[in-house]
Amino acid sequence: MAPNEEQVIRPPGVAGLFYPADKIVLEKDLSLLLESAPVEQFPRPIRGMIVPHAGYTYSGGVAARAYRQIVGTQYDVVVIIAPAHRLHFHAPSVFPGKAFQTPLGEVPVDRSFVNLLIRKHPEIERSFRGYETDEHSLEVQLPFLKWVLDRVKIVPLMMGEQSRETIDLLTNALADVLHSKHFLVIASSDLSHYYPDVQARVKDQVVINHVNRFEPDELYEDIETGRGEMCGFGPAITAMKVAKTADARTGKVLLYRNSGDITGDRKNVVGYLAGVFF
Taking alpha carbons only, the member of 79, 217, 219, 96 closest to residue 156 is 79
Is residue 3 in some structural domain? no
pLDDT for the residue 94:
98
Domain that holds residue 147: 30-277
- pLDDT number for residue 3: 59
3-class DSSP state of 196: coil
- Whole-number Å distance between alpha carbons of 174 and 190: 23
CATH number at residue 193: 3.40.830.10
Residues shown for the chain:
278
What is the per-residue pLDDT across 56-90, written as a single tens digit (0 to 9) for each? 999 999 999 999 999 999 999 999 999 999 889 99
Per-residue pLDDT of 185-194, as tens digits, reads 999 999 999 9
In a domain, 216, yes or no: yes
10 Å Cβ neighbour count for 234? 26
**Sorting pLDDT into bands at 50, 70 and 90, what band is 1?**
low
Residue 71 lies in a domain: yes
Residues 6+ apart with CB under 8 A from 192: 200, 203, 204, 228, 229, 269, 270, 271
pLDDT at residue 106 greater than cutoff 70: yes
**14 assigned to some structural domain:** no
The type of residue at 221 is E
Is residue 17 in a domain? no
93 touches 127 (CB < 8 A) = yes
pLDDT in tens, 34-60: 999 999 999 999 999 999 999 999 999
d(C-alpha 153, C-alpha 252), whole Å: 26
116 belongs to a structural domain: yes
Residue 1 lies in a domain: no
Distance CA 229, CA 174 (A): 24
| Cα–Cα distance for residue pair 2/25, rounded to 1 Å | 37
Domain count, the chain: 1
pLDDT digits (tens, 9 = 90+) for 205-214: 999 999 999 9
Secondary structure (3-state) at 153: coil
Question: How far apart are the C-alpha atoms of 184 and 139, rounded to whole Å?
Answer: 17
Is there a contact between 253 and 278 (Cβ–Cβ < 8 Å)? no
For residue 83, is it within any domain?
yes
> pLDDT for 201-255, tens place per residue?
999 999 999 999 999 999 999 999 999 999 999 999 999 999 999 999 999 999 9
Evaluate whether 87 touches 129 at the Cβ level (below 8 Å): yes
